[in-house]
Structure 1
């Protein structure tokens, strides 16, 4: 894509701004800030990745992945405001998921041990895990509040924290995985995923693009399951005080 063609893509931004002004949505400032940030961030990432791909420095690759996990944990942690230590638990959950996926992909020879494969796939996997973590925490908030009576009754009968909140955990894990599972059912029919589309536009063989997209779809499914389950195991105790009282006030 030429620089001139890239400039023409600003037409889509102007259309969005005009719609906001016409409907008096008041989003013009946010749209402009988002546009500038997106362009600057993506250009910077492009230069960084270009350098990393050329050098193939292992420490740089690890640093980039760690930064991705840290940012993802910080963002998803906003859904668990009031829960102390939730962000490092999210980071640990996403990190464990990333380690498992990369171990399988590299150990089984599914992808080559090169930065041009590791970093993009890690980015997509970590991004998916971030969304799952946010959905899990949001589901837990709502479910714990709705099940307050049931949880307190179980505690009164002698159940421990894990037993009392077990059903909420199951429902939250299920809810966090539904978007990923629904995406699997409709991929290629309702939507053509970004990775596959990008490879085809870049001139790759469509069947080769499909193979990589199948890899991503299956990895996303594993990522969703592992992230939500590990996060549930690490965080369920945060919903209680030391005296096993629910932290309903803090979890809102």
Structure 2
């Protein structure tokens, strides 16, 4: 009786295991094209298999609890991992992991709070944890790109920034164009995805509902909510990251911190 869950789990894993044949195809193509990615492909799919299997059991445990504290723990864990990952992308930004983590936390927390207050989602683990995961993942990507792009643009245009500072501009005024460019580049994929959703591809949330038996109309309604929250969370997180980056880019005398831009 106690092993029924294990038997059901193993039965359910037959299709995912069968689907790995497409990964084997990718491995073969990489081998014949001499890309050298075979090992990384195998490692990636094995890691994904283990991670998703473990998180499946963890979520099953959390969903069966009646304590909302698990929502906070799961959310903070996701933000911590996302902050570390985004910080790795922008590794030349001082304290980049903390900047990314704080930015992601701010953007997703504000968005989630509004959704709960407006009663779009009930404050339960079954709703909040998956929704938070989508927002955190998207904010992680956008924040990492914003921070890296901003630092790289300032490095390329150090002369222009230093000239503006010498003429009395504040750090914000001196780097306004670089900030705008970084934000536009990082947010463009999110906005492009919103423009083409349903025309080119059916997003994951919508596809999952349809495959689970929900009507297309219900799936569309949820997907609209998802797109709205992704745009909101990503915008707040990316803008917040630019504000938090500035102290590391400039000295107290409003001069560029050259050591930040000389490292490669």
Band of TM-score, shorter chain: over 0.9
Taking the aligned partners of 2:62 and 2:49, their CA distance within structure 1 comes to 20
Instruction: Return 5+ residue gaps in structure 2 as ranges.
Output: 1-10
Taking the aligned partners of 2:66 and 2:23, their CA distance within structure 1 comes to 36
Q: For the Cα contact (< 8 Å) 1:69–1:91, is it kept in 2?
A: yes
Taking the aligned partners of 1:8 and 1:81, their CA distance within structure 2 comes to 38
CA-based RMSD of the aligned residues comes to 1.5
Taking the aligned partners of 2:159 and 2:15, their CA distance within structure 1 comes to 59
The equivalent position to 1:227 in structure 2, one of 224, 230, 237, is: 237
Number of aligned residues: 251
Q: Which region of structure 1 is more displaced relative to structure 2, 43-52 or 138-147?
A: 138-147
Task: Give the secondary structure class of the aligned counterpart of 1:188.
Answer: coil
Deviation for aligned residue 1:179: 0.7
The match for 1:142 is 152
Whether 2:177 is the aligned partner of 1:164: answer: no
Q: State TM-score, norm by structure 2.
A: 0.90
Whether 2:183 is the aligned partner of 1:173: answer: yes
Taking the aligned partners of 2:237 and 2:12, their CA distance within structure 1 comes to 40
Whether 2:63 is the aligned partner of 1:60: answer: no
Q: State TM-score, norm by structure 1.
A: 0.94
Q: For the Cα contact (< 8 Å) 1:162–1:237, is it kept in 2?
A: no
The equivalent position to 1:205 in structure 2, one of 215, 223, 237, is: 215
Q: For the Cα contact (< 8 Å) 1:94–1:130, is it kept in 2?
A: yes
Instruction: Return 5+ residue gaps in structure 1 as ranges.
Output: none
Deviation for aligned residue 1:9: 0.8
Q: How far does the alpha carbon of each residue in 1:132-163 deviate from its partner, in whole angstroms, 9 at most, with x for none?
A: 10110222133112321210101111222222
The match for 2:8 is none
Taking the aligned partners of 2:103 and 2:232, their CA distance within structure 1 comes to 13
The match for 1:122 is 132
